[in-house]
């Protein structure tokens, strides 16, 4: 229900802070990305009314339908694309989003570089890594990451970090540790990892961005 959303934000941010304080060692509190995909407008507005301004969407078309008007009403929103991006949607994505977290192949990197130049926008990017080597899931394979990073550097893209979505059946800590290792190896500070079921664990392992949907908004009603 709408009335639970402020309480959910409070509980989540409090739990993340406690975890970061417990771990210590300079572990800073990560940004909370409210994943609003397949949520009704009234719930998203309820989240906006709490003052929260960082949101994530999986699909360009759905994000356009929701945020084209909402970003006029709330111009300080920071919108992250956290789902797969097809090259035929790059122009729309560059125009709407503020951060793209799902760059996973050279062709997409090249399209993004060209479109950002055309629109005079330089969006921060994350590279999605398929740490579980799941063929049905997006993300570059671990062995492909160095080459993709090189291509992005050659294109002068602003790669700020790495993102992963661990297999549902695996211990997520193994994937978070792997992502952190590769980010450190390549001098990247951003770590987008952790969702509704494991955000506290992700915070304890150094996440800089945590993507939480259900724990904020409740279960999604897919049509």
pLDDT in tens, 36-57: 998 999 999 999 999 999 999 9
Residue at token pair 């950002």: 116
Q: Cα–Cα distance between 216 and 33 in angstroms, integer?
A: 10
Mean pLDDT rounded to a whole number for the chain: 93
Range of the domain at 56: 4-217
CATH code at 61?
3.20.20.10
Per residue in 52-90, pLDDT tens?
999 999 999 999 999 999 999 999 999 999 999 999 999
Cβ(154)–Cβ(171) under 8 Å?
no
Q: Quick check: is 21 in a domain? A: yes
The tokens for 145 are: 């990451």
Beta strand 78-81 with 31-35: parallel, antiparallel or unpaired? unpaired
Query: What Å distances lie between residue 59 and 70, 81, 86, 153, CA to CA?
Result: 16, 7, 10, 26
Q: Rg for the chain (alpha carbons), in Å?
A: 17
In three state form, how does the secondary structure of 182-199 look? Answer: HHHHCCCCEEECCCCCCH
Q: Quick check: is 175 in a domain? A: yes
Q: Quick check: is 222 in a domain? A: no
pLDDT of 19 = 86
Q: Cα–Cα distance between 99 and 81 in angstroms, integer?
A: 6
Number of structural domains the chain divides into: 1
Q: Quick check: is 118 in a domain? A: yes
The tokens for 90 are: 């790059």
Section 178-189 average pLDDT: 96
Alpha helices (H) in the chain, listed in sequence order? 4-23, 41-49, 60-73, 90-96, 106-119, 145-154, 172-185, 199-204, 214-217
Q: Quick check: is 80 in a domain? A: yes
């Amino acid at each position: 229900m709408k009335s639970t959303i402020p309480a959910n934000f409070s509980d989540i941010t409090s739990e993340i802070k406690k975890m970061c304080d417990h771990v210590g060692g300079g572990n800073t509190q990560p940004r909370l990305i409210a994943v609003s995909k397949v949520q009704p407008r009234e719930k998203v507005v309820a989240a906006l009314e709490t003052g929260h301004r960082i949101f994530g969407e999986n699909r360009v078309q759905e994000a356009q339908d929701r945020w084209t008007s909402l970003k006029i009403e709330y111009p300080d929103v920071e919108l992250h694309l956290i789902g797969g991006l097809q090259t035929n949607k790059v122009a729309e994505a560059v125009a709407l989003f503020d951060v793209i977290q799902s760059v996973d192949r050279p062709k997409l990197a090249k399209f993004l570089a060209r479109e950002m130049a055309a629109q005079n926008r330089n969006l921060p990017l994350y590279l999605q890594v398929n740490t579980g080597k799941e063929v049905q899931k997006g993300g570059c394979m671990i062995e492909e990451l160095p080459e993709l990073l090189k291509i992005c550097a050659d294109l002068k893209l602003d790669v700020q970090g790495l993102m992963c979505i661990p297999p549902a059946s695996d211990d997520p800590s193994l994937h978070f540790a792997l992502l952190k290792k590769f980010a450190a190896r390549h001098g990247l500070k951003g770590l987008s990892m952790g969702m509704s079921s494991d955000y506290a664990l992700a915070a304890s392992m150094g996440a800089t961005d945590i993507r939480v949907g259900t724990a904020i908004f409740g279960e999604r009603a897919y049509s």
